[in-house]
Structure 1
Amino acid sequence: MMTTPSVDPAHDILRYDYTPLQPFFAPRRVAVIGATEKPNSVGRTLLWNLVSSPFGGTVFPVNPKRSSVLGIKAYTDILSIPEQIDLAVIAIPAPRVLSAVQQCIQAGVRGAIIISAGFKEIGEAGQQLEQEILQTARQGNLRIIGPNCLGLMCPPYGLNTTFASTMARPGNVGFLSQSGALCTSILDWSLRENVGFSAFVSIGSMLDISWGDLIYHLGDDPHTHSIVIYMEAIGDARSFLSAAREVALSKPIIVIKGGRTQEAAKAAASHTGSLMGSDDVLDAAFRRCGVLRVNTIDELFNMAEVLAKQPRPQGNRLTIVTNAGGPGVLATDSLIRGGGHLTPLAPETHQALDNCLPTEWSHHNPIDILGDATPERYAQALQIAAQDPGSDGLLVILTPQAMTDPRQTAQTLIQTAQGITHKPLLASWMGGEDVAAGEALLNQAGLFTLPYPDTAAQVFNLMSQYSYRLRSLYETPVIENAETLDRQRMEQILVDATACDRTLLSEWESKQFLQSYGIPTVLSHLAQTPEQAVAFAETLGYPVVLKLHSHTITHKTDVGGVHLNLPNAAAVQAAFTSIQQNMQPYGKQAFLGVTVQPMLNHEGYELILGSSSDPQFGPIILFGLGGQLVEVFQDRALGLPPLNSTLARRLMEQTKIYQALQGVRGHQSVNLDQLEQILVKFSHLIVEYPQIKEIDINPLLVSEHHIVALDARIILYPQAEKQPIRTAIRPYPSQYVHQWTMGHGWPVTIRPIRPEDEPLIVQFHQNLSEESVYFRYFHLMKLQTRVSHERLTRICFVDYDREIALVAEYRDPQSLDHQILGVARLSKLHGTQSAEFGILIQDQFQGQGLGTELLKSLLQIGEVEGLEAIKADILPDNRAMQSLCKKMGFQLKHQGDSIEAIHQKLPTSVNLSGLNC
């Protein structure tokens, strides 16, 4: 059972010619509402920029007081224009914008750019006006860029809908900015530096069209090779992350963020909250979606250019070839400070260099080939260095010396570089006029050059960071063992807390949650009298620990609520009395007894694992060095839930303590695999219980022998507080999992796909016939291509927000092996409430009703997700799929070489009797 072709086999997504933002980037008829002849006005500049740039369309001024503007016939309003308008550019006072938007809707306009200011930036009245405009636009299917923006340029087509003084040069960088003032500065800089753009967009306050919409558009734009963003606020976090994650693998996304030194208010009662700044959370979000963050405008465009010209490095080891020692040292310092490493030269590399270089060469990396280096010596050294298996990138440095020929060396380098395609090659031709001719040759040949070697090393570090982030996203994670959760026990704890109108769970209650998710905790007993405490201590064996049991005290150590290493019954009784007395100033509810725990050997490392909520991204995970001095050392990393095993390991790797966890100074490594799975389970706990506002496990004691949570603390959202912020990454949609029985009696599980399914998908493709492949993709595709890791990562790593794939999984009762029998995919079309579907069933399992069940499931998902239409293209020879679509209520229409099937009214229920596919 197959349908829906894929132009890009790596995506399995059909690309339609029309895109939702086409009216903005390729309009045929543009109206300027507020066009005027007043000198130096926005309305006049907008009109002049449009008519003076040959974008191939027609411009219509709208001004009720003039019959013409700049010699062009004007219209009293947009409804008076006799032709269909694609794009309206609105530059009138804010109070009149709502009326103009209403007229645009009546005229059938599909896109509007609101240049006007005077909205939410002026206060509550402006914000209310914005919302009225947005509500009106959505009812009329009108998309809006702005308000309070500069406009946009599409240089490849000559379109300029801005009031900037000049037009950007055509190029392959898509530039998006929240600041109109920065846009004009960047424009001036780009003209001076000869940087060109495929799109140049000022998005203003993002009333409607957001980062996600524009990233999707530029991701599909063939003129755009990289995307650079100046960001002040992220807006819809889930939309941004979903779009960036999809596009970043094929086109680099580089962001510079303004206001990064401002931190959000910190939760004083929470270790996790006190360690979370809003800027750190944004860094974590960028890492999660493969976006590279930089600190300067130079880095922004350097990275856009180099990532478009050079392959990504596979690691962080750089080989430096130079004709002077000093610049090599400067490059090395910059490399090491930025987290990179020098390539240790392999013995064969060292021997080959000995054979071709003077005996005085440096004999290590940086490879100093001496000041009298000829072009041929450069070429020989570079060829040898490029073959070193430990090298991830190359930097060639030239300083102008008396014996140096910068131009000829550049020509030789260009020829040598043609054979180096698997790792990046950077060049630093140092100097001014002496090296200008050689530098120009390198740039013309597509080699990336920088004037200073330390900057070049910094660029390499950024490249390796970007490559590392992408690999982190698309490494196949380890399959985790499913835990049987005692949800009844956890729900009862929440009910009890809610009934008492309390938000703080006791340590004992908090540990019940951890235990239910398979996170090991130290055995604890509740004691309300000294006698009970002694009895439990006798059972556990001395020494023991007594901790305060309270529903109101947050940090027990700070108030004398913890007594350690108690050796006998007398010490236990004394500790109980001491804790009880220490709580008297805090009221009767502060003391509810104590917990009795064994005194564990604290040999190992104290870690912290916690979660707190960010106002933009929702729950955030914190991992790092814990203990009482956690805020002092601040060795921590932040991540967005949910995690899988790969993401959990990457989170651990960001901390300094991770090196110690691997084993140092005679200590064995801790069980990193177990720790990894604890992070995964912890992330699931956070996602599945949104009532949890904050959670700390501090310390989480880890050693080569055990991992155990010694203390835990959970705070719930108050009942009166608004609904908690949703997770920025949509969690696994377990609500779409169901059991079903095939026609021949096999029980299968139909569920959303997971990244861990990649090996099963490989097996699935090995059992497909050429006809099945042809019907699905509209062309034959070799098995090697279909099962390549890069392709399968895009298939298995879906975000469940814009795209969802279902698999039908069968488990053999004898061998217990798992097998995927069929796959169905639903992909939402960018900027619409429509989606396309595709279904592929193994040949031997066709005709058992599986295709029917999968399509039924997709339709039901579409209804739940609020889709307005589901469609697919089907080959004329694929009659089985056509028959199924007809019976499921699809309308079929011939379109050239294919048949379009579309379902525009998603049913609440589907009668499946008699269908067999």
Structure 2
Amino acid sequence: MSVRHLEALFQPTSVALIGASESPGSLGSVVLHNLQQGGFQGPLWLVNRRHSQVAGQPAWRDVAALPQVPDLAVICTPAHTVPGLIAELGRKGTRAAIVMTAGLKQANPDGPGTLEQAMLDAARPTLLRVLGPNCIGALVPDVGLNASFAPGNAMPGQLAFVTQSGALATAMLDWAQARGIGFSHFISLGDSADVDFGDVLDYLASDGATRAILVYMESVKAARKFMSAARAASRNKPVIVVKAGRGADGARAAASHTGALAGADVVFDAAFRRAGMLRVDTLEALFDAAETLAHARPLVGERLAILTNGGGLGVLAADALDLQGGQLAALSPATLAALNACLPSTWSHGNPVDIVGDAPLQRYLDGLRVLLAAPEVDAVLFMHAPTALVPAADIAAGCLPLLAQASKPVLTCWLGGAAVAAARSATTQAGLPCYDTPERAVAAWLQLVLHARNQAALRELPASTAPAFLPLRAQAQAVVAQAAQAGQEWLDPTQVHSLLQMYGIPTQRSALVHSVDEALACAADIGYPVALKIVSPQIVHKSDIGGVALGLASADDLRQAVQAMLERVARLRPQAEVTGFTVQTMVARPQAHELIVGISTDPVFGPVLLFGQGGTAVELSQNHAVALPPLNTALARDLVQRSGLARLLAGYRERPAVPEAALLETLRQVAQLACDLPQLAELDINPLLADAQGVLALDVRIRLHGPGRGQPVAPAIRPYPQELEQTVALAGSTLLLRPIQPEDGERLQAFYAQASSADMRLRFFLTRREVPHSELARYSQIDYDREMTFIALSPGDPANQAMVAEVRVVCDPDNQRAEFALQVASAWQCKGLGRLLLDKMLGYLRARGTREVVGQCLVQNLAMAGLARKAGFSVLPGPSPDTLALHQLLG
């Protein structure tokens, strides 16, 4: 990921147009017209190799002849000229280019590969950034930049729009202009050979002129880069996305249940949710969501109250809310009594609150005050249909001051046309979201709810508990490596059983046998009754051909089952090779739920975890959900909730609850297995039995990547870097230095709570008694791809180890500069722990190629300044009189 030189792309001080033309309808002519009409105040230099003037302006023959170095070059010349132009611009000193030209996917006539690759190779030595190729360009109204061939300009605004589709970009620009919607940036990525979603999200996340980021997406190239940028941007401002291609055609065939169920579109859903983004279905909803999220108050709950002057409007809104899974607030007796006191007897006496069509302004105000004060109401939808009694403009003028001051989210719906136009305009000017139908208003509210849920997942602090089982990762990797070397596609039952045991996933005793005699000997050792399952690479679903026999109580039963299976395979699948049988302990758990837990490999996002209803009819069930690994306890719980099975597993009637801890631990371990074993292509645990005794993996299949079977794809989110853990001896104690984990939130809270006020001031540059929950979550749920926090844990039981120090470092998207902060508990100061952590941090940064590290401390923090000097930092006056600047080049 990189934001390097994107300032030159989106905030240029000078522009060169290469391929400028005055031929009507040509690309160079249209772009020239847009650059001139956009209002750009800097120099605009034209390049045309045939003419010394274009459209009455001076033109230069080539890049080398330009009078100065342009910040930004816009290229409209044929495809074969682009690589050479990029090389010339780089030598000239230009740092950004927009390549509108299409056709760079074709072969390079002057060398190997494509023209696009030649363009990238030409840009690399000078780090010149390229937007495109095959894009319509970029518009930044605040600086008057219209470097595009769009049919018109963009209005100034606070929304950034980023799209992969050029045709859609031109249509959206026209659509937005007709509705008075303005933009801070309007960016067409085109083929995104260089600048892509990750780069642009990183840039816009820190752009003060951008209030929300709107994205139209068709595909993602670099999933980990995208996820890192999206998670960072979503913490700063709303990021709303429309993703094309969500139909059934996006799903792909797979050998396992999991692969069949975890289709491409639901994986994108899981990625957007994990990043804290909001996905919507339509372009209209994209702008509705931007309006809602940018203006609404912080959400405290999901219970909506509806106030309307028409009963039909209220019913439509309530129906839309119910059909989409929303929650209508149940009004308390106190609230009902307050409404009875201010409304006529003919009001609806419930939610929706129908104040009747003849309502004067005072009735609106009275009803709204009651609902806004009601503790059981989390948000209010205000709806009005025009009447001849009171003009809508008068209702708006009276109600908007009250609604604008509300501490709860308020949405409005003015139903009608000209009669409510003034009211709508006043509502928008008051900074309140406004919709023209009940259904759109409810959809916008539910977008707000979903966005809040996604954001809450970013801020949740999982419980600080030690893992129930530490995986034997090295041994598991050896099992998989041996199988891959032997050319296996599917692991045999013995290997599968070993892997599950290495990850603490409960399973029953089983063995692979190759003959009737081996089966009989194994069953005698295990003990009857047993289950028998056929093993064949060509038979994916064993039950389809009667390849499973249960409850075999004797040697005769087992012998007959083997013979019957072989006969059925010979008749139904004559081409199948039977490599053996699995003999397993027979499990009798009649009240157990049959679940499925699985892993599949998405070609974009890598390993994907699936959880839901299992059994032989698994594909017929809708109760499934997917998530990207790794998982913590909170994310595992969310996966269960989204599957629709949480209430079922909590127990009902005669069926007791499934122990949540056991289920969540299994989900976490399967997710960890997916991260640790990149050669694993698919895994099915179906069924995973779950009852009051816990969980048990009953039937498990594992397939590996290999020649002709796809290649491993790295997890989209970098998992916990266990290799960075280190045990050190210090002051007579043994400390564990390791990266922070989401489950360390409670430790971090206790660490700050026990620090002295002086230490907290030295750390945060202000006096604070406690660190807010949201900040704790941000500090403990870090993105290991771009930041790192090493913590020191005191000796003791892993579940109760106290945190005694931290060093925190955040790298910029280009990995050029990192900023650090360090704090040591009072009892551990002056013992060398600070130096240990600082050295560990510096070693980590050197290993990842970071160029420099900086920090600040207060001038009275003599200990930190001294420690920094000893570690090789320069210590100089800081940006303010009471601070010191710490700096070190890392080479």
TM-score normalised according to structure 1 size: 0.91
Q: Residues 851 and 51 (structure 1 numbering): CA distance in 2 closer, same or farther, change over 3 Å?
A: farther
Residue equivalent to 1:134: 120
Alignment of 1:199-278 (within 5 A): 199-261=185-247, 263-264=249-250, 266-278=252-264
Q: Distance in 1 between matches of 2:691 and 2:624?
A: 18
Residue equivalent to 1:837: 820
Residue equivalent to 1:849: 832
Give the superposition deviation at 1:746: 2.6
- Contact kept in structure 2, 1:426 and 1:448, CA below 8 Å: yes
Amino acid in structure 2 at the alignment position of 1:607: L
| Matched position secondary structure for 2:656 | coil
Q: Distance in 2 between matches of 1:55 and 1:773?
A: 48
Amino acid in structure 1 at the alignment position of 2:789: A
Q: Which moved more, 1:106-115 or 1:553-562?
A: 553-562
- Contact kept in structure 1, 2:538 and 2:576, CA below 8 Å: no
CA deviation map 1:103-133 (0-9, x unaligned): 1111111111111111128999997111121
Give the superposition deviation at 1:398: 1.0
Residue equivalent to 2:738: 751
Q: Residues 403 and 667 (structure 1 numbering): CA distance in 2 closer, same or farther, change over 3 Å?
A: farther
Give the superposition deviation at 1:412: 2.3
Residue equivalent to 2:809: 826
Is 1:647 the counterpart of 2:632? The answer is no
Amino acid in structure 2 at the alignment position of 1:92: T
CA deviation map 1:677-700 (0-9, x unaligned): 211111001111111111000011
CA deviation map 1:278-335 (0-9, x unaligned): 1111111111111111111110001011110112433332111111111111111111
Amino acid in structure 2 at the alignment position of 1:196: G
Select the residue among 285, 295, 299 that pairs with 1:309.
295
Amino acid in structure 2 at the alignment position of 1:399: A
Q: Residues 386 and 895 (structure 1 numbering): CA distance in 2 closer, same or farther, change over 3 Å?
A: closer
Is 1:342 the counterpart of 2:325? The answer is no
Residue equivalent to 1:623: 611
Is 1:76 the counterpart of 2:61? The answer is yes
Is 1:711 the counterpart of 2:696? The answer is no
Q: Distance in 1 between matches of 2:360 and 2:542?
A: 71
Select the residue among 347, 353, 358 that pairs with 2:344.
358
Q: Which moved more, 1:364-373 or 1:541-550?
A: 541-550
Select the residue among 844, 858, 868 that pairs with 1:861.
844
Give the superposition deviation at 1:894: 5.4
Residue equivalent to 2:398: 412
Q: Which moved more, 1:817-826 or 1:356-365?
A: 817-826
| Matched position secondary structure for 1:263 | helix
Q: Which moved more, 1:331-340 or 1:527-536?
A: 527-536
- Contact kept in structure 1, 2:607 and 2:674, CA below 8 Å: yes
Alignment of 1:542-557 (within 5 A): 542-549=528-535, 553-557=539-543
Residue equivalent to 1:25: 10
Alignment of 1:137-148 (within 5 A): 137-148=123-134
Give the superposition deviation at 1:863: 2.7
| Matched position secondary structure for 1:382 | helix
Higher relative CO (Cα under 8 Å, sequence separation at least 6) belongs to: 1
Q: Which moved more, 1:530-539 or 1:184-193?
A: 530-539
| Matched position secondary structure for 1:228 | strand
Amino acid in structure 1 at the alignment position of 2:406: I
Residue equivalent to 1:788: 772
Residue equivalent to 2:155: 169
Select the residue among 649, 652, 655 that pairs with 1:667.
655
Residue equivalent to 1:765: 752
Alignment of 1:4-23 (within 5 A): 20-23=5-8
Residue equivalent to 1:299: 285
CA deviation map 1:210-246 (0-9, x unaligned): 1111111111111111100111112211111111111
Q: Which moved more, 1:30-39 or 1:799-808?
A: 30-39
Residue equivalent to 1:378: 364
Q: Residues 150 and 719 (structure 1 numbering): CA distance in 2 closer, same or farther, change over 3 Å?
A: closer
Amino acid in structure 2 at the alignment position of 1:863: R
Residue equivalent to 1:870: 853
Alignment of 1:401-800 (within 5 A): 401-421=387-407, 423-482=408-467, 483-487=469-473, 490-491=476-477, 493-527=479-513, 530=516, 533=519, 537=523, 542-549=528-535, 553-583=539-569, 590-718=578-706, 723-742=711-730, 744-770=731-757, 772-777=759-764, 779-784=765-770, 787-800=771-784
Give the superposition deviation at 1:136: 2.3
Give the superposition deviation at 1:531: 5.8
Give the superposition deviation at 1:721: 6.2
| Matched position secondary structure for 1:120 | coil
CA deviation map 1:366-406 (0-9, x unaligned): 11111111211111111211223232221111112233431
Give the superposition deviation at 1:205: 0.9
Give the superposition deviation at 1:188: 1.1
- The unaligned stretches of length 5 or more in structure 2 are none
CA deviation map 1:257-295 (0-9, x unaligned): 222225346344211111122111111111111111111
| Matched position secondary structure for 1:654 | helix
Q: Distance in 2 between matches of 1:174 and 1:502?
A: 49
Q: Residues 890 and 492 (structure 1 numbering): CA distance in 2 closer, same or farther, change over 3 Å?
A: closer
Give the superposition deviation at 1:537: 4.8
- Contact kept in structure 1, 2:303 and 2:327, CA below 8 Å: yes
Q: Distance in 2 between matches of 1:425 and 1:837?
A: 41
Give the superposition deviation at 1:89: 1.4
CA deviation map 1:463-509 (0-9, x unaligned): 11111111122211133433243456535533542353212112342
- The unaligned stretches of length 5 or more in structure 1 are 1-15, 907-917
Q: Distance in 2 between matches of 1:273 and 1:28?
A: 51
Amino acid in structure 2 at the alignment position of 1:171: G
Q: Distance in 2 between matches of 1:645 and 1:319?
A: 33
Q: Distance in 2 between matches of 1:433 and 1:587?
A: 73
- Contact kept in structure 2, 1:698 and 1:710, CA below 8 Å: yes
- Contact kept in structure 2, 1:213 and 1:831, CA below 8 Å: no
- Contact kept in structure 1, 2:817 and 2:850, CA below 8 Å: yes
Residue equivalent to 2:380: 394
Amino acid in structure 2 at the alignment position of 1:558: D
Amino acid in structure 1 at the alignment position of 2:779: I
Give the superposition deviation at 1:719: 5.9
Q: Distance in 1 between matches of 2:161 and 2:147?
A: 15
Q: Distance in 2 between matches of 1:823 and 1:618?
A: 32
| Matched position secondary structure for 1:208 | coil
Give the superposition deviation at 1:664: 3.4
Q: Residues 866 and 719 (structure 1 numbering): CA distance in 2 closer, same or farther, change over 3 Å?
A: farther
CA deviation map 1:595-631 (0-9, x unaligned): 1322313323211111110110111111111111111
- Contact kept in structure 2, 1:20 and 1:831, CA below 8 Å: no
Give the superposition deviation at 1:82: 3.3
Q: Which moved more, 1:587-596 or 1:56-65?
A: 587-596
CA deviation map 1:36-95 (0-9, x unaligned): 222232223323333333333222212232323334332222332333321111111111
Q: Distance in 2 between matches of 1:728 and 1:463?
A: 26
Amino acid in structure 1 at the alignment position of 2:695: I
Is 1:90 the counterpart of 2:75? The answer is yes
Amino acid in structure 1 at the alignment position of 2:29: R
Give the superposition deviation at 1:248: 1.1
- Contact kept in structure 1, 2:159 and 2:182, CA below 8 Å: yes
Q: Distance in 1 between matches of 2:67 and 2:623?
A: 65
Q: Residues 206 and 873 (structure 1 numbering): CA distance in 2 closer, same or farther, change over 3 Å?
A: farther
Give the superposition deviation at 1:842: 2.8
CA deviation map 1:808-860 (0-9, x unaligned): 221347x9732222222222213353323232223442322222222222222
